[in-house]
Amino acid sequence: MSRRTVLLLSALALAAPLLVAAPAIAAPPAPPPARTAAPGPAQANGQLAVCGVRLCNADRAAVQLRGMSTHGLQWYAQCVNDASLDALAGDWGADVMRISMYIQEGGYETDPQGFTNRVSSIIDEVTERGMYALVDWHMLDPGDPYHNLERAKTFFTEIGRRHNGNTNLLYEIANEPNGVAWSRIKSYAEELIPVIRAVDPETPVIVGTRAWSSLGVSDGADESEVVANPVNAANVMYTFHFYAASHGDEYLNALSRAADRIPMFVTEFGTQEYTGDGPDDFGMAQRYLDLMAAKQISWTSWNYSDDFRSGAVFEPGTCPSGPFTTPERLKPAGEWIRDRIR
């Protein structure tokens, strides 16, 4: 057979099944896939609620959720897409994604409707993959949460209304208050929580603590101010953040003591310095992880992006196309934290 005949025959062989299969009338387009929730940790555990000093599932059994925080959506939305979320749910086996929406620095205040829509659609994407979605009201500077109270009321009311049917949410209402006393954070929470409860009676609410959610330690205080004067509302937890290369025993011990008295959630931490950059201290980070495992303190780590700093898990240039499941694309902190989640 000549080379040309071979080519012709193979072209026919390829075309033939297509010709035979072609229907006389074009089939209607396939319906879009149903937006049913995939089986995952959020289905296995259902609606969360605070019970005592722990976070519990729908059967009132204590659970520890582990996962990642996005970077600021105004900068790194390109790291939150179908492939990266598939990797987080599948390859990493995460239970939860924290959706970090800054208010200032080019965040929510510049486009409230746009950011609300973006968070809402990420909630849907996270839900489809069977994970919990932790909605982070990422106030930071100014450090007084009252600066953004009216915005927070608007935002959480809309999210609560739109996601009425979700049983996989957590609301973090003040990322890192700073320069204000605990009493002011507490009264902010007590003004905002009833507004949230009017549209969403069930989602646990996580309240930031004094001095960048250090339980006051970075201001020379400690957890006792919260223990003595907790937020007057049900289904509430408290935030603690740490960066292992900056925050040593004094911080670790405050978290440990606090977790025996009040419900704690570590919504942000890094293995490096508080800048989210610099050398990793995996030894200290492991001590925190052991404590959090022992006391079933849930956590999300900072951050799931390809920012140049050492605390961003992916090498620069990984987003948006990935691959997100290749270990070579992970920085040392990324490899370490992926192993701890898996």
Binding site for ligand IDC (CB under 6 A): 105, 140, 175-176, 212, 241, 243, 268, 274-276, 302, 307, 309
Neighbours of 35 (CB within 10 A): 8
- Cβ distance to ligand IDC smaller for residue 129 or 247: 247
CA 96 and chain centroid, separation: 6
What residues form DSSP beta bridges with 74?
none
The answer to whether 225 touches 231, Cβ cutoff 8 Å, is no
Q: Which residues contact 149 (CB under 8 A, 6 or more apart)?
A: 188, 191, 192
List the catalytic residue out of 125, 128, 172, 268. Answer: 268
Spatial distance between the Cα atoms of 191 and 185, rounded to a whole number of angstroms: 10
- Cβ distance to ligand IDC smaller for residue 85 or 101: 101
268 labelled catalytic? yes
- Cβ distance to ligand IDC smaller for residue 125 or 136: 136
List the catalytic residue out of 176, 223, 225, 273. Answer: 176
CA 336 and chain centroid, separation: 18
The answer to whether 153 touches 167, Cβ cutoff 8 Å, is no
Let me know if 229 is exposed, middle or buried by CB neighbors in 10 A (0-12, 13-18, 19+). Answer: exposed
Which amino acid does the sequence have at 14?
A: L
- Cβ distance to ligand IDC smaller for residue 95 or 307: 307
Residues forming the active site? 176, 268
